[in-house]
Amino acid sequence: MRPSRRHARTAALFPLPLLLLPATACAQSASDPTRDPRFQQAAELFEVWLDAKMDYEKIPSVAVGLVHDQNLVWARGYGEAHPESGDPATPATMYSICSISKLFTSIGVMQLRDEGKLRLDDRVSALLPWYNLEQAFPEGPPVTVEGILTHSSGLPRESAHPYWTGPDFPFPTRDEIIDGLSRQETLYPGSHYFQYSNLGMALAGQIVEEASGMSYDDYVRTRILEPLGMADTYTDIPEEHRGGRFATGYGRLKRDGERSESPFFQAHGIAPAAGFSSTVEDLAKLASWQFRLLENGGSEILDVNTLREMHRVHWVDPDFDTMWGLGFSVGERGGERTVGHGGSCPGFRTTFQLQPERKLAGIAMISAHANPTDVWSRMMSTVGAALESIQANPGGGAARPASLAEYEGLYESTWGETAILRWGEDLATLGLPSGNPAEARGTLRRIEGDTFRRVRDDGELGEAYIFHRDESGRVESYSVHGNFSRRVGE
């Protein structure tokens, strides 16, 4: 089944159709897991789910990538980077990465810490001579570098400017941020509550400049981006790629079921917190570097122990809901630690998450205000889980029967849509839209001819699904409990 009634799929790596499996697939999967039937059916399940999400939520484009160990093993673009022109999105399409920018700023701060140019317990007022934000809790701890990196400094969330307000989104310059500090004060005592602070991370960018004697852009480019080969990552949004490689962003889904195009913006002085642009392919290099450093040790970009320090929990909010490392958010998925960052900017939502113990990372970028964590988690529960299964049992894949391909497609009834696709030697069903395709997937087993039966969770056979054909012999519908769902797409 091709999930492309409206959205095109483009591949950066392994541009083989997911439905056509060579006879040597099992042998090839040992060196290329994406050729394993288990991976291909999991990728197709994810794509069927994502296609429905994009249609129902009117999402113009999504780009995703899966990194295992140090390799970008799978990357795709879906939909259109510019809906008006129909340009397809790819893993090389540029998106605003919003608050993922904070990771680069945090890495820069920790580099300078390791070089002895600052300390984590340094007062920000000692590092930035113009810093004059009022300390509203003089008996409490001062605003420190570590407090900024863990969002526990007590600083307010934003600079004294309405830059998240449309339609113009007037992000302040560096000088405007500095000027606004005199009109602001701390929101909480230091080390008291978690308060996410774009202002704090913008100040961290200024700390990088003061401590290094370089402009922020020059520092990040020469000390982080160029050594990692991240040529498509910028500390701003490159004007020359507007309308080209840089996707057009769209706002929230409104009551009328439409999204409005978001204006092109620059974050200016807020760039260290939310101004970068990048691609799935480039962010995969950031993940690969971390896995490489954690495996090999050494001091590429950072000392390995510094990276481990950044990944560890340094702040837990009193409600035990929020955990933060040094620049990295820290969470868990399925009992495993995750580290990374998400982002939200005018027209874009993104997430970049690593599972260090599994050497697995996922990237999701959306050119609209829609949930990237939803996309990331569904990708990990389908494609990511299949990859891990193949790594654990590389010889376990069997080709999906070609004879079942004629049943694949999208079927519609009064109650909704159901996707049918091949799953091993059976068929899989997925109601659309669904929350989690890995959990919502059902299984149909062929009994004879066009008659299948649902496989219950206990392995017993349930009700019959009977497929029906038109005069030409093409499958046109199926019935279950005597009611019909008609095929509307392949």
Question: Which are the contacts of 77, defined by CB distance < 8 A and separation ≥ 6?
Answer: 9, 10, 11, 12, 61, 62, 63, 88, 89, 90, 91, 92, 93, 280
Neighbours of 469 (CB within 10 A): 12
Nearest CA to 291 out of 99, 77, 73, 98 is that of 73
Start-end of CATH 3.40.710.10 domains in the chain: 95-389
Q: What does the pLDDT profile of the chain (490 residues) look like in tens digits?
A: 444 444 444 443 333 333 333 333 334 445 789 999 999 999 999 999 999 999 999 999 999 999 999 999 999 999 999 999 999 999 999 999 999 999 999 999 999 999 999 999 999 999 999 999 999 999 999 999 999 999 999 999 999 999 999 999 999 999 999 999 999 999 999 999 999 999 999 999 999 999 999 999 999 999 999 999 999 999 999 999 999 999 999 999 999 999 999 999 999 999 999 999 999 999 999 999 999 999 999 999 999 999 999 999 999 988 878 899 999 999 988 888 999 999 999 999 999 999 999 999 999 999 999 999 999 999 999 999 999 999 888 876 778 899 999 999 999 999 999 999 999 999 999 999 999 999 999 999 999 999 999 999 999 999 999 999 999 999 999 999 999 999 998 8
Residue 360 bridge partners (DSSP): 68, 355
Query: What single string gives the DSSP state of each residue in 162-193?
Result: -TT-TTT--PPPHHHHHHHHTT-B-SS-TTTS
When the candidates are 2.70.70.10, 2.40.128.50, 2.40.50.140, 2.30.30.60, the CATH number that belongs to 400-490 is 2.40.128.50
H or E stretch covering 208: helix 198-212
Helical pair 385-392 and 37-57, crossing angle rounded to 10 deg? 180
3-state secondary structure 253-305: CCCCCCCCECCCCCCHHHHHHHCEEECHHHHHHHHHHHHHHHHHCCCCCCCHH
**Would you state the pLDDT for residue 334?**
80
Question: Which are the contacts of 346, defined by CB distance < 8 A and separation ≥ 6?
Answer: 96, 164, 166, 169, 249, 251, 262, 263, 265
Please determine, looking at this structure, whether the domain spanning 95-389 carries the CATH number 3.40.190.10: no
**Would you state the pLDDT for residue 3?**
43
Nearest CA to 171 out of 272, 276, 270 is that of 270
Helical pair 304-311 and 280-296, crossing angle rounded to 10 deg? 110
Start-end of CATH 2.40.128.50 domains in the chain: 400-490
